[in-house]
Amino acid sequence: MCWAIILLSFFSTQQPDEMGYLLKNIPDVPVRTAESSLQPLSSWYSQKPMILTLAYSRCPGVCSPYVLQIRDQLAMQSIAEDKFQMVVLSFDSTDNAQTLSKLAGYSKVNPPPSNWTFAVLPTESREELAASLGLKWKKLGELYDHNSLLLLVSTEGKILQRVEGLPSNDQWNRLFREITHEFVPVYSTLGENIWTSCFRYDPASGTWRMNWGLLLILIPSVATVCILLILQTIIRVGATKKIANTKPIISHDPV
């Protein structure tokens, strides 16, 4: 009964939009960097996991505080820069990488870390990438109304985590644990050979399936029950044999 409640709680708290994108491949679209050259997005995620967010420099709303929060959260962690790549991608084709970096408070005097990249998405690639990531945008005059996304992409180009809006502390912890290959009970980890997750998402069927990690959690409880049953059986058998081997006492009444 307890496990049924836990499983129902897990499935009821998952965001349907997020589950629909997990483990899906993102398109390897070309993006424009500070050097004005077009490079495939895989240039950043093919060697190490990529944290990706989308914004644009003229945004009067959430873009700047959103990117600043990402910067501050990453700065508080002791994760080496060579463990992941951070990419801030603008979906405004008139943008440029230099002005985009100002959203994170960086400049020539205060340059970003070596694993940060600012790039611009060409207009012809915007629809394809937006659809694969779940970016919802609408142009309002010279500005854009859009949702805020933070994604973790594996070296195979698969979406491992997707957060819409400001990430909670728990979501940040999950993301950092994915990068450092720590045990994460629900989300798929960075490697294809990691089998310790409790559940694995099947993108083909759109369903969650139990994985070996759940068995690892159940083994101690099941083993304890089995040991108790074995001990109880041994005690009962021993008691039965003792009774069977006990000779009845025959009393002789005097005549």
User: What are the sequence ranges of the domains in the chain?
Assistant: 14-210, 214-243
The fourth-level CATH superfamily of domain 14-210 is Glutaredoxin (3.40.30.10)
Taking the C-alpha atoms of residue 232 and residue 253, their distance in angstroms, rounded to an integer, is 41
pLDDT, residue 72, reads: 94
Q: Environment class of residue 7 by beta-carbon count within 10 Å: exposed (0-12), middle (13-18) or buried (19+)?
A: middle
pTM: 0.66
Tens digits of pLDDT across the chain (255 residues): 444 434 444 444 444 467 789 899 999 999 998 776 789 999 999 989 999 999 999 999 899 999 999 999 999 988 888 999 999 999 998 899 889 999 999 998 999 999 999 999 999 999 999 999 999 989 988 899 999 999 999 999 999 999 999 898 888 988 998 888 765 555 444 444 455 566 665 554 445 566 666 667 778 888 888 898 898 888 887 777 777 666 555 555 555
For residue 160, which phi and psi values (nearest 5 degrees)?
-90, -35
Query: Looking at this protein, which amino acid is placed at residue 31?
Result: V
The per-residue pLDDT for 16 is: 43
Model pLDDT, residue 195:
55
Q: Is the sign of the CA dihedral 124, 130, 132, 133 positive or negative?
A: positive
